[in-house]
């Protein structure tokens, strides 16, 4: 660490201690000196300005924001890899109860993709819907799971699942899933047709 940064840290610690204690009477310190110390910490004084300057130039300024950005970037990269891996199965046949890699049903597909990247999620779509945090339709992002009712599950009950891979500026998205008719395919949402009518909700299991 550079000498200037070390000095900044020492100054910050020293000034913080003075600022916190300046208004507290110190044992054995003459009243005039205590009053002067208190004055140094007041807004607009040289000491207050020095404190502000140290905070601005500290090497730790916005460190938490940098960490958050780093985490977001790591999640984005991970989800991108998951989407690419999922895409490698486009065209794979659908089979009820199959968990891959040669055949899948919808939840077998999502659980297979997530497990490949260290996420051991539940096997069936209804149980997967109990995991993660709820996501509003307008806040969807790649990696989220979308849930739908199906002909077999009945209206209002989870029976199908897919994973978001793209979100567009107009608020629509694209998800990948194992379709009963076409196998693993992409689907745009909303489609103003089957999937719009059967949509139940979405959950976020990555980067909660």
Point out the catalytic residue in the list 106, 173, 182, 198.
106
Q: Is the pTM of this model over 0.85?
A: no
Query: 61-86: per-residue pLDDT in tens?
Result: 554 444 445 557 799 999 999 999 99
Please say if 160 is a catalytic residue. yes
Q: What was the pLDDT predicted at 70?
A: 52
Of 33, 39, 48, 160, catalytic: 160
Active site residue 48: no
Let me know: does 79 contact 87? Beta carbons within 8 Å.
Answer: no
Lowest-confidence range among 25-34, 119-128, 138-147, 199-208?
25-34
DSSP-assigned states of every residue in 10-77:
HHHHHHHHHHHHTTSPPTT--HHHHHHHHHHTSTTSHHHHHHHHHHHH-TTTTHHHHHHHHHHHHHHH
Catalytic residue among 48, 177, 182, 198: 177
If one counts every other C-beta atom within 10 angstroms of the C-beta of residue 201, the result is 14
Summarised one tens digit per residue, pLDDT across range 153-163 is 998 999 999 99
Domains of the chain: 3-57 (no CATH), 71-204 (3.90.1720.10)
Phi, psi (deg, nearest 5) at residue 25:
-60, 135
pLDDT given for residue 73 in this prediction: 72
d(CA 62, CA 167): 29
Active site residue 173: no
For 20-67, the pLDDT digits (tens) are 444 454 445 455 544 544 544 455 555 555 555 555 555 555 544 444
């Amino acid at each position: 660490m550079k000498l200037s940064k070390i000095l900044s840290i020492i100054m910050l610690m020293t000034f913080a201690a003075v600022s916190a204690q300046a208004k507290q009477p110190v044992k054995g310190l003459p009243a005039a000196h205590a009053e002067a110390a208190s004055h140094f910490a007041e807004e607009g004084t040289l000491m207050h300005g020095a404190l502000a300057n140290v905070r601005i130039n500290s090497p730790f300024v916005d460190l938490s924001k940098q960490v958050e950005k780093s985490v977001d970037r790591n999640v984005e990269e991970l989800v991108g890899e998951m989407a690419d891996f999922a895409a490698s199965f486009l065209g794979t046949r659908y089979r009820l109860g199959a968990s891959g890699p040669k055949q899948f049903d919808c939840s077998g597909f999502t659980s297979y993709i997530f497990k490949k990247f260290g996420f051991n999620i539940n096997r069936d779509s209804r149980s997967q819907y109990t995991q993660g945090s709820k996501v509003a339709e307008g806040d969807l992002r790649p990696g989220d799971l979308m849930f739908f009712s199906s002909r077999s599950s009945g209206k209002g009950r989870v029976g199908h699942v897919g994973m978001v891979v793209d979100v567009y500026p107009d608020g629509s998205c694209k998800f990948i899933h194992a379709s009963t008719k076409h196998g693993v395919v992409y689907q745009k949402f909303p489609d103003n047709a089957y999937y719009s009518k059967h949509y139940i909700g979405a959950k976020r299991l990555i980067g909660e």
